[in-house]
Amino acid sequence: MGQQTAQTLRNHAYLTTRGIFTRSLLDAALATFGSDRILFSADYPYVPNAPSRAFLNGLQIAPADSDKLAYGDADMMLKLV
């Protein structure tokens, strides 16, 4: 993928965790898209909320990035802020 195409994708696409809570996958998504384009989601009722929240709470990332994943990126995408 060309550099321009990759940047266009990063500018226009969002990713969700979609109930898959694997640190290596999240790290790859963060490295590729950055913390501004990833939306935390649990995929309830297929994935229970408690393990989803435990994964989010257990991430050792900057508090600002955790806030973006938890709600900030969705707020920006939906133009709530």
8 Å CB contact between 17 and 41: yes
pLDDT single digits (tens) 1-19: 678 887 888 888 999 988 8
| pTM of the model as a whole | 0.81
Contacts of 7 (CB under 8 A, 6+ apart): none
Mean pLDDT of 56-80: 94
Share of the chain above pLDDT 70, in %: 99
Helix segments in the chain, DSSP class H? 3-12, 23-33, 49-58, 63-67, 73-77
Tokens of 16: 């969700």
